[in-house]
Amino acid sequence: MKNLINILLLLPTLTTSLVCYCNDSPKFCPDNKCVTNGVCRASIQRSRQNENEIIERYQCVHKRSLFPVKRPFECENSKKLTNTYIRECCKQSDLCNHNHNLSFDLPDYDEYTETPVLVEDDKRTIYLVVSVLGSSVVILATGCMIYMVRKSKVRVCPIFPCWKSYVEVDTRSCDTISTTLQDWMSMSGSGSGLPLLLQRTVARQIELKECIGRGRFGEVQRGEWRGSNVAVKIFSSLDEKSWVREVEVYQTSMLRHDNILGFIAADNKDNGTWTQLWLVTQYMEGGSLYGVLQQHTFDQYQVMLMCLNIATGLSHLHLEILGTQGKPAIAHRDLKSKNILVRKDGVCAIGDLGLAVRHNSGSNNLDLPINHKVGTKRYLAPEVLDGSIVESDFESFKQGDIYALGLVFWEIASRAVVQCSPYHPPYWEVVGADPSIEHMRKLVCEDHLRPSMPHNSLIEKVTSECWYPDPSARLTALRVKKTLTNLISDFESSHETDFRFKQSNSFQLKETNLSQD
């Protein structure tokens, strides 16, 4: 009887699963098969090194990646890339993508499309009907407008949509039409980004201006949309999984926060040679914290403010919000100065959520990224370096973020004017530019080495409590935030005159590159 109940419970899952042929890594394709609730996909692509070499890929595409539903981006082909990259999706049966019939030698569609030749009289009749109908519509619309204006005796704008062109699905009155990015970002009630159609509209209206950063994923360019600057993170089509993952995390409900990089849109674009995958975010004039620390020094008050910004953003990431439109707890897993962006007024925001892990306490489900990357070696916590981290426990990932947060605090404190030294990333004097995992494991886990805090630093105590060897002994992000808030409050009380001066002379950062790694 118990076995029968288990079979009945598993039956919906079995009936909605699709087995696909797969040639990705053995971890995701045991026995060259994968299971999905979406579709199977086959694709062919010409090698960039050798045009005669054809790369065949077979994959599972999960249901959450199929948007929009009727014509998902993941299954569409570009007319400009029919000789470079072709893909096809199916779901009619298991392994339906194995015996595909994709080829770069398909004839052009226009050759087989015959347009019926209309007789001249038929054309005249059609023109006459269209003209009559069009005139009737114009007359009726004008009459309705005159009637409603006279009846309401108010200006036209509150009743009718403005004559200004508008690209969103729903019409809006004159008083509520948004014309700036800040308006559009703030009108998202769920805090998870704009509607998908509006995202595509914005992305296709952006004009790229210049490259402002490069990293392992591709590059970041500054773009302009209606006079506003945006940052466009461009992935190659070969890094599609990373793009999909980062978009998923950014679209988490209730994620929007002043200290988390603002997500605007995601879209795929053809540049004539290959498909680009765009991730559009707000533009941070100061660039990355890594670049800012190399060019600027700060006083103790500014150091504490920047640290509070970062701790506040991390606290919001780690926080789980319960409710109908709740937010799962999120651990960043790659927190470092290069992944923190700075506005021109010095406000910091956490970005690059591609390695983030989400956790829902109700179902105790961990949503881990598909790739095997574990963050930047220099910022890895001791338990990650020695392999003792419990990956089934979400708290372990949060504690790893706190360790990295302590290193970021040290980087900022090392540029304080009181005792300023040339900027170097953590452990630079010991491991140099490119440390190995083994070297970092010996220093952090066996030798228990930590960077030495500058003398008389006001954040020394809270920083040292972030990088304890025992993960459970480290502070939480919320505790760090509250401690820094109290430190700033005490500082303002004891330096009241200086503080009033700072309020009227807030520091400004010169515009620099958004360098990310």
Could you give the CA distance from residue 280 to residue 496 in angstroms, rounded to a whole number? 41
Q: How far apart are the first and last CA of the chain?
A: 56
Q: How many CB atoms lie within 10 A of CB 411?
A: 20
Q: Is 265 exposed, middle or buried (0-12, 13-18, 19+ CB in 10 A)?
A: buried
Are 432 and 456 in contact, with CB atoms under 8 Å apart?
no
Identity of residue 110: D
Per the listing, tokens 């993170």 go with: 233
- Please give the structure tokens belonging to residue 382: 């001791």
User: For the chain, how long is the longest CA-to-CA vector?
Assistant: 93
The DSSP code for 353 is: -
Radius of gyration of the chain (CA): 28
Q: What is the Cα–Cα distance from 447 to 385, expressed in whole angstroms?
A: 13
- Please give the single-letter amino acid code of residue 2: K
Whole-angstrom CA distances from 102 to 45, 55, 112, 198, 249 are 10, 12, 18, 33, 33
Strand pairing partners for 266? Answer: 279
Question: Does 270 qualify as catalytic in the annotation?
Answer: no
Cα pseudo-dihedral 268, 271, 274, 275, rounded to 10: 0
Instruction: Please give the Cα distance from 468 to 434 (Å, whole number).
Output: 24
Cβ pair 194, 250 in contact under 8 A: no
| List 121, 270, 334, 470, catalytic entry | 334
Residue of 23, 24, 514 whose CA lies nearest to 280: 514
Residues 247/267, Cβ–Cβ less than 8 Å: no
Q: What is the DSSP letter of 298?
A: B
Alpha-helix runs per DSSP H in 299-453: 300-318, 382-385, 394-413, 428-431, 437-441
Residue 405: which region, alpha, beta or left (left: phi > 0; alpha: psi -120 to 50)?
Answer: alpha
Q: Contact, 285 vs 222, CB < 8 A? A: no
φ, ψ of residue 494 in degrees (nearest 5): -85, -15
Q: Determine phi and psi for 35, rounding to 5 degrees.
A: -120, 135
DSSP state of 94: T
Active-site residues, by number, are 334
